[in-house]
């Protein structure tokens, strides 16, 4: 599409789910679309609200009450949390959308709403205003293939999450689907998904490639300099980056076994320990009595890290993650081998199987009965596996190529922009 055509592009409204793992991909989508000349308007809940000054001055922001930000203790159960968000946000979202559309003074300049399928109330409201919806799926395409198959309830990983399965109906009822994936990585799954949902699918990932810095900086205004300086002093490909995402928790016994496995591996590591990582502990770091003294300068423990910059650092040679798609995609596309330990949602088991059995770019450990010897062994295996590194060099090259001019994701983004213009 030529630049003149882009200048005439109508604006889009983006409404991400209020979880960092869902918001970051939406911020990346915003950067991708904005780079093509599309005007961006965000509707965000006050819970987990980012700092608008961290974004392009071209963006518009509207913040709505969600009832969660005012709670002293938000629901710890993810399903209960999701239900509360949906219940509390419906009317504020409708009022905000009406205000935005009403300010257009008869000019229909808003092309569509791009939102998360876990916002289950947006269908009725968008239909009320005649506004097309495009969905952003923030996990792997393979996960949505399982969710959209007729026998999903017979799948071992999914029966206990009917709320997640229900999101497929929201996807099918939408005008199109954006995926944080690319043809060379998930071609067969993407083809099956297109057959299952029968709407246009736009794989434009890896989404983080459209952003110069980690989107988490919009939430946590922390100084990343000490972390990067520490990495600068480590040998190439020597550091294991350990992070279990923004909401997954483990118990005290698992935490202690992982800590001992890390210590016994003699491998340099950077471990992100959120205060709430260990279930039932107010400050997880307090559980590591004498640990930092034992590992010395070989280990660095932090409450937050700029993951995108960390994974691209030359010192990082592996990642120990919870199997979330953002972390897996960022690791694979940056050529970093991964250890997956599925912690929370069903898709993490699907992702872990693909990492180990389909793409063969990492190893897996299961939480059930995890023990320090197992952790030590899997770390040593991963960091010393040259075949995995060679495969990942190819994956990294493909990921870089697909978002470059003429690549599969580049072309898919062009098609997405044309599609938005046609709505």
Which residue carries 């938000």 as its tokens? 74
Write down how long the chain is: 423
**Global confidence as pTM:** 0.93
User: Any residues with CB less than 8 A from the CB of 150 and at least 6 apart, and which?
Assistant: none
Q: Is the peptide bond before 4 cis (omega within 30 degrees of 0)?
A: no
Blockwise average pLDDT, block size 10, the chain, 423 residues: 51 94 94 94 90 83 87 71 90 96 73 96 96 97 91 69 77 97 98 96 96 58 84 97 92 93 95 90 78 87 93 97 96 97 89 96 92 96 96 97 97 97 93
Are 39 and 67 in contact by the 8 Å Cβ rule? The answer is no
What pLDDT, on a 0 to 100 scale, did the predictor assign at position 75?
Answer: 66
| CB-count burial class (<10 Å; 0-12, 13-18, 19+) for 333 | buried
Phi, psi dihedral angles at 62 (to 5 degrees): -130, 130
Beta-strand runs (E) in 40-145: 40-45, 60-64, 110-115, 133-137
Domains and CATH numbers, the chain: 3-205+404-422 (3.40.50.2000), 218-400 (3.40.50.2000)
Handedness of CA 187, 190, 196, 199 (dihedral sign): negative
Q: Scan for tokens 């493909």, then name that residue.
A: 398
Q: What is the pLDDT of residue 289?
A: 77
Give me the torsion for CA of 355, 359, 360, 362, rounded to 10°.
-30
Q: Is 386 helix (H, G, I), strand (E, B) or coil?
A: helix
Rounded Cα gap, residues 273 and 283, in angstroms? 9
Report d(CA 12, CA 112) in Å as an integer. Answer: 5
Output the pLDDT for position 35: 93
pLDDT at 162: 65
* Cross-strand bridge partners of residue 44: 63
Contact 148, 194 (CB under 8 A): no
């Amino acid at each position: 599409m030529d630049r003149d055509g882009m200048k005439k592009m109508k604006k889009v409204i983006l409404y991400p789910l209020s979880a960092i793992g869902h918001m970051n991909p939406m911020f990346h989508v915003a950067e991708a679309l904005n780079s093509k000349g599309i005007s961006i308007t965000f509707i965000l809940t006050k819970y987990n609200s980012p700092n608008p000054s961290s974004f392009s001055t071209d963006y518009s922001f509207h913040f709505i009450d969600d009832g969660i930000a005012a709670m002293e203790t938000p629901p710890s159960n993810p399903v209960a949390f999701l239900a509360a968000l949906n219940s509390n946000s419906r009317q504020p979202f409708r009022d905000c959308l009406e205000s935005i559309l009403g300010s257009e003074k008869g000019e229909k300049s808003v092309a569509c709403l791009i939102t998360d399928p876990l916002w289950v109330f947006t269908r009725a409201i968008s239909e009320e205003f005649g506004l097309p919806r495009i969905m952003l799926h923030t996990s792997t395409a393979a996960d949505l293939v399982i969710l959209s198959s007729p026998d999903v309830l017979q799948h071992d990983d999914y029966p206990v999450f009917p709320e997640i399965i229900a999101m497929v109906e929201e996807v099918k009822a939408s005008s199109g689907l954006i995926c944080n994936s690319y043809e060379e990585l998930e071609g067969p799954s993407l083809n099956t998904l297109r057959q299952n949902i029968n709407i246009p699918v736009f794989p434009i990932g890896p989404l983080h490639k459209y952003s110069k810095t980690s989107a988490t900086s919009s939430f946590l205004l922390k100084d990343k300099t000490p972390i990067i300086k520490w990495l600068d002093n480590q040998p190439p490909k020597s550091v294991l980056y350990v992070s279990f995402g923004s909401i997954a928790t483990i118990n005290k016994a698992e935490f202690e076994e992982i800590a001992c496995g890390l210590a016994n591996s003699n491998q340099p590591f950077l471990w992100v320990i959120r205060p709430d990582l260990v279930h039932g502990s107010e400050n997880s770091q307090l559980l590591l009595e004498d640990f930092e003294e034992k590992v010395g300068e070989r280990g660095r423990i932090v409450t937050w890290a700029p993951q995108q910059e960390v994974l691209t650092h030359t010192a990082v040679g592996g990642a120990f993650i919870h199997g979330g798609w953002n972390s897996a995609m960022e690791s694979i596309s940056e050529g970093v081998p991964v250890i997956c330990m599925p912690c929370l949602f069903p898709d993490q088991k699907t992702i872990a199987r693909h990492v180990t059995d389909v793409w063969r770019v990492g190893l897996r450990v299961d939480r059930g009965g995890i023990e320090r010897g197992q952790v030590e062994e899997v770390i040593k295996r991963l960091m010393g596996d040259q075949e995995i590194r060679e495969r990942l060099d190819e994956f990294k090259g493909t990921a870089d190529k697909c978002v470059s001019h003429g690549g599969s994701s580049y072309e898919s983004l062009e098609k997405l922009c044309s599609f938005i213009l046609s709505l």
